[in-house]
A and B are shown apart, each in its own frame.
Chain A
Amino acid sequence: MLTQILTFLIFFAVVGCILYGRRLIRTEKVDAVFGNPERALGGTHWVIVGSSFLLLIWLYYSWDIAKGFYPKSANELCQVAKVNDSLLGLKYQFPIEEREFKSTSQIKKENKNLKLIQNEIQNSEELNSQQKTILVNYISKTNQLIPLLTNEDLLEIETQQKIDDITGKINLLTENFQKSDYPFETEQELNERLKAVDEEGGWGITKVDAGSGSIENTLEVPLVPATYRGLKFHTAAQELNLISDEFFKLRNHNPQFKNKIKELKEEIKSYRKNLSDSEEVASTYAKNIVKIARRIEFASIYPPNALDQMQAAIIKFDNAQKKEQGGLRLIDVFLFPAGTIVASGPSCSEQGSGRWLPKPSDTFNKFILMSKPSVGYKDIPLLWIQMVDVSKMIGFILPDWIADILPGEYPVHSKDGIVKQNFKGGVLKIVTGDFNLFKVPVPYGHIWDSFLRVFLGLVFGILIGVPLGLFMGLNRFAKGFFDPLIELYRPVPPLAWAPLIISVLGIDNTGKVFLLFMVSLSIMIISARAGASGTQLSKIHAAHSLGASKRQILRHVIFPNSLPEILTGIRVAVGMCWGTLVAAEFLAGTTGIGFVENVAKKYFQYEVIWITIFIMGMLGLLFDITLRKIIDKTIPWRGKG
């Protein structure tokens, strides 16, 4: 329902905005010539068109529009797919979707293989002429097997009858299929079917497995035919399966062929038995010839015209079922772009763009589900608050060795089995956070962890990078000393460090934050240095002549001057950090957006993958907007000096 409304809204928004935009072009009086940036100002309506377009493409290629407007179409297409699936094996035998008969292509292929092996044998230096003659003889015998199968006169009456029988069955099915009351369904059957449909649910429902706390994959396409048209195809598919099985059990083996191949097999077998170990090459060739003979035996090779009627029957049925699809075919073509519903054995699935591009509605539902703190992902919520005692933070901040360096001993238990606390023990309790104070809410969850990692990496990068960069911009020693180091490590992609991180820094946050720190550090150094060395000399001279100290010059002239560069550097670093974060969290992790994506990939949870992508996009945007606000607030002089 929501999808339908949304689709219409988007449609009207796009049309309206385009009309508005065109009217604006006609009526607007702009003197600006081409190349004047003023021509790119404004244009909110184009923003609407752009984002609507994005959403429309998503809705369209994820087949959400089909789901919104024709919720039963997937189920019906599933039944059609069942028919196609049953027909497929039969169809491959004929030049319906292929260029030639399966028999023809198989004969061609085996003739080629026989010729190949014959050439090999004749050119072989390891075989003597006697062996060559025998082997070539086997080849020609194998070759002679084929006409035995393709000769119409040799086709047994029994086989012919069976072929006619199968053809008759297909024709009967075609005839019945076109009748309006096919298949006949009693009231009871109808009720049972509708009940099953009800139990199965609709197209793309998310199910929560409360037991394991994980989100199971959605039931993609309901299987039980929900409509009468669907039932028709479903029944026909079942009948076709039986017919197809019957055909593939059938072998065109007449007595002459059977005798010949038996003879050949035995001949080769006895020949191979009599060969000594040194004649292994000949034995292998003989074995390969038998393999070809057996392939011919198992291939469904028939005389050229024996199956003509069957082919006609199949084509007739195919046309009938296509006709019966009616409007469904249009829906399939236009609303299921880049793929369709495919049946495979008992199950139906979306194959094509609908598979890896989850529907906006499903994604949204799943996101709501995951946002619930009780569901989350792998038992951890995306973003939630937990009450943490302040003592834990104190314990984290205070180093434990404070207790160790105090004089005295830690308490020892007495004879009565009682431990009496002393001062040193009390201090240890405080520095390890083993006491109760009061609780404060602290955010936690995947998003918070990722955010914190980026934030810490960035803060450390700024704290070390900016002073170092300024120093390098102002001091010859610093520049010379640090330059080789920085220049060597800067071009290395941060992920190149990744394989070392686990071994050196372990799997905790340290390693991930360090990776992000490496990213932000080089950017901060470069930008701070460029800012410092880019300060206009006249301003420094002016400050000097007014009697400013070195500190004052640094604080009031150089630093404000390099601030624009530094803040731009931070913006770049944020983007880079997000890029690296995902890879860092792929390494080893229990939390974080990258971890969620990595695990979702392993379970083919496409909705979750897209959710993580959106979350990362949103967080990146949030960071960037915040920074832009900070820039506007702190350096209003940017671009005006």
Chain B
Amino acid sequence: MKHINKQGRGKMKKIISFILGCFVALNLSISVANSAANEVRVAYFLEWPSPNLEDMMKKNFAKALGVPVKWTNFTNGGAMTDAMLAGDIDISYSQGLVPFINAVKSKAPIKLVDVAMEYGMGGTTCVTSNASGITKANATELEGKKVAVPLGTMAEYVFDESMKVVGADRKKMDIIQMDPEEGAAALVSGDVVMACLFGGNSIKAATAVGSRLLTVQEARDAGILGIDITSVTTKFMKENPGMLRTFIEVTHEANARYRAGKSDMNSMSKASEMKVADMKETLSGFKFLTPEETKQSMESGNLDAFLKGMGTPRGNVDTSFLPL
């Protein structure tokens, strides 16, 4: 009896010390901070071309920043935020404004430091199927029908704004959460009467069986505008303000080069994994702002209006890194 007892006590001690050890290890492992930047990790999108991708291909960013720059491609802006929170990404280039707003609304420590590009409905749009016979004129017929929307993305914003323009009530529709590729497939198969999507290939597939609810021009007139931004973790911003400034500067240099028509389209198309012709078409819908325009947009222009319209908490925009 005594023997068993002793054994039991020994086991108990072992268990307790094991648990305590786990506690300490867990607490320590999470609080270990990664120190000064030996490389800068940037997130970007494929099939979403921008002039600075040329610099990415030619390693100009690494030369300008003085440290290696690692580019990782993502499929949506929410994932970029996740990666930034996990400490795997320092700068997100061309993150959609809606994912950014969702992130700061949930108090993620990231900041908006630059506008990557503004774009019309060319890149993000809602397409109604021809079979449904719904157009801008009779858009209230959408009520009670099924529409595919990728929630929490720029496409949801475009959807909301378009519905305001055509006077249809979003609440009366059957909104189905679908990523663009699936939304396009559902529109083709006739499961939904309208799909809101982004990305060249999805829009191409959708417009094959339908037409845009609002044309690019109509959307522009209605003030529906997509904005992609550059966001950065607060930690990186505090730690390496110089690098961040250089990053934005190189990006704006590339934009200026693009405006002057001197960009190397081949390396851009390689970087964005698109055909040159497709890429040029996508690029034609983008507007790359000058530093002055960017500042204006951030302080009192489109971006500011957008943020206010979405009820974004203030104090997450920083214009001090723009190369003015």
B274 within 8 A of A: no
Q: Which one, B30-38, B117-125, B297-305, is touching chain A?
A: B30-38
Considering the complex, give the chain B residue whose CB is closest to the CB of A22. Answer: B8
A351 touches B175 (CB 8 A): no
A590 touches B176 (CB 8 A): yes
A352 within 8 A of B: yes
**B90-114 contact mask (Cβ, 8 Å, vs A): 1 or 0:** 0000000000001101111111000
B174 touches A349 (CB 8 A): no
A113 within 8 A of B: yes
Considering the complex, give the chain B residue whose CB is closest to the CB of A355. Answer: B85
B31 touches A339 (CB 8 A): yes
Interface positions, chain A 328-383, Cβ under 8 Å from B, are: 337-340, 342, 344-353, 355, 378-379
B64 touches A291 (CB 8 A): yes
Considering the complex, give the chain A residue whose CB is closest to the CB of B170. Answer: A212
Complex Cα distance, B239 from A92, in Å, reads: 6
Complex Cα distance, B106 from A588, in Å, reads: 25
Complex Cα distance, B103 from A109, in Å, reads: 34
| Chain A nearest Cβ from B218, distance in angstroms | 26
Q: With A344-B111, A345-B315 as known contacts, state yes or no: A98 contacts B185, CB within 8 Å.
A: no
One of B107, B191, B234 near A506 (C-beta < 8 A): B191
A259 within 8 A of B: no
One of B1, B27, B78, B315 near A346 (C-beta < 8 A): B315
Provide the residues of chain B in CB contact with A502, threshold 8 Å: 182, 185-186, 189, 191
B192 within 8 A of A: yes
Considering the complex, give the chain A residue whose CB is closest to the CB of B98. Answer: A602
Complex Cα distance, B238 from A337, in Å, reads: 24
Q: With A298-B242, A503-B189, A507-B192 as known contacts, state yes or no: A602 contacts B26, CB within 8 Å.
A: no
Interface positions, chain B 285-318, Cβ under 8 Å from A, are: 313-316, 318
Complex Cα distance, B106 from A421, in Å, reads: 59
B66 touches A604 (CB 8 A): no
B75 within 8 A of A: no
Complex Cα distance, B235 from A85, in Å, reads: 9
Interface positions, chain A 505-555, Cβ under 8 Å from B, are: 506-508
Interface positions, chain B 54-91, Cβ under 8 Å from A, are: 63-64, 66-67, 78, 81, 85
A173 within 8 A of B: no
Complex Cα distance, B12 from A599, in Å, reads: 44
A217 touches B106 (CB 8 A): yes
Considering the complex, give the chain A residue whose CB is closest to the CB of B12. Answer: A22
Complex Cα distance, B170 from A379, in Å, reads: 12
Provide the residues of chain B in CB contact with A348, threshold 8 Å: 107
Instruction: Count residues of chain B with CB under 8 A from any CB of chain A.
Output: 58
| Chain A nearest Cβ from B40, distance in angstroms | 13
Provide the residues of chain A in CB contact with B270, threshold 8 Å: none
Q: With A339-B31, A588-B182, A595-B177 as known contacts, state yes or no: A349 contacts B108, CB within 8 Å.
A: yes
Provide the residues of chain A in CB contact with B85, threshold 8 Å: 355
A602 touches B151 (CB 8 A): yes
Provide the residues of chain B in CB contact with A342, threshold 8 Å: 109
Provide the residues of chain A in CB contact with B314, threshold 8 Å: 346
One of B103, B178, B246 near A507 (C-beta < 8 A): B178
B189 touches A506 (CB 8 A): yes
Provide the residues of chain A in CB contact with B176, threshold 8 Å: 507, 588-590
Complex Cα distance, B237 from A85, in Å, reads: 11
One of A339, A349, A587, A604 near B102 (C-beta < 8 A): A604
| Chain A nearest Cβ from B177, distance in angstroms | 6
Provide the residues of chain B in CB contact with A133, threshold 8 Å: none
B102 touches A603 (CB 8 A): yes
* Selected A-B contacts with CB under 8 Å, 20 pairs: A25-B8, A26-B1, A88-B239, A89-B238, A113-B66, A338-B27, A349-B107, A349-B109, A352-B30, A502-B191, A503-B185, A506-B191, A507-B191, A590-B174, A590-B176, A599-B177, A602-B153, A603-B152, A604-B102, A604-B105
User: Which residue numbers of B lie inside 8 Å of A, CB to CB?
Assistant: 1, 4-5, 8, 12, 23, 26-27, 30-31, 35-36, 63-64, 66-67, 78, 81, 85, 102-103, 105-111, 146, 148, 151-153, 171, 174-178, 182, 185-186, 188-189, 191-192, 234, 238-239, 241-242, 245-246, 313-316, 318
Among all A-B residue pairs, the 5 with the closest Cβ atoms: A602-B152, A349-B107, A346-B315, A604-B106, A344-B109
